Amino acid sequence: MTAATSPHPWLRRFRPAPHARLRLVCLPHAGGGAGAYRSWAALLPSGVDLLCAQYPGREDRFTDPPVDDMSALVGAVADGLEPLLDRPYAVFGHSMGSAVGYELARELRGRGHAEPVRLFASGRRAPADAPGGRVHQADDDALVAELVRLGGTEREVLDDPGLRAAVLGYVRNDYRLIERYRPLSGPPLDCPVSVFVGDRDPEVDAVSARRWDTATTGRVDVQEFPGDHFYLTARRREVVRALLRRLDPALAAAQGPWPSTP
């Protein structure tokens, strides 16, 4: 991977955007990697530079030791982003990534940087309502049952003993991180927050999503999409369009296939 596509060990860029006027930082869900957002690169206009966090222990960082502490995770991603904050940025996180995004925005503010122009929180309750859990302490079969319940993991992967063991290693680590997570100390954000949810998500609904107003003094809006916890996989075009409309309608109008789609 070149420096252009990997500006930092914790970040991936799937499409160069040297003239972008805004950076979009995406944080994966528990068990996910930067590849979860690879398809977004072809849907974003050239005015947006897509940067995806790559947590250790998966994809091209499979041999790197995983991190199961929110502060350490956020600090590492912030280290990678700091040299890239020469222009406005927005943050999008799905599920566990929403909590990471919230803490990342506060960490960057604490380091003297501007807050994101908007935080997008997808498929997760507000930090103040962070649910605990003991899935990370359960046996492998229970962990697999949880993945099946939420969807988003190929059944063929879970049925293959070798792949299953590899996947469950970092999934259990991520569950350990997010089930022990409680909001870190410090005031809430001031930026606007948009919350996206699937209308059949067993984890969060539109009513509970509005509790993100406890995480910011800014405006909060909620949008439902058809689907379950991983609604954004099937609805990626709608999600990206909705995201761009909130950032700048002109960006949404410029949305289209990138001429050299990777």
From 71, 95, 98, 185, the catalytic residue: 95
Q: Which amino acid is at 153?
A: T
Residues 6+ apart with CB under 8 A from 14: 5, 34, 37, 38, 41, 50, 52, 262
Beta bridge partners of 53: 11
The answer to whether 173 touches 68, Cβ cutoff 8 Å, is: yes
Residue 71 known to be catalytic: no
Report the distance separating Cα 20 and Cα 37, nearest Å. 18
The answer to whether 55 touches 69, Cβ cutoff 8 Å, is: no
Residue 10 burial class via C-beta count within 10 angstroms: exposed 0-12, middle 13-18, buried 19 and up:
buried
3-class SS string, 206-240: HHHHHHHHHCECCCEEEEEECCCCCHHHHCHHHHH
Q: Tell me the CA end-to-end span of the chain in Å, nearest whole number.
A: 13
Residues 6+ apart with CB under 8 A from 109: 115, 189
- Using the CB atoms, write b or e for 153-165: b if 16+ within 10 Å: beeeebeeeeebe
Residue 251 is given by DSSP the state H
The answer to whether 47 touches 87, Cβ cutoff 8 Å, is: no
Active centre residues (catalytic):
95
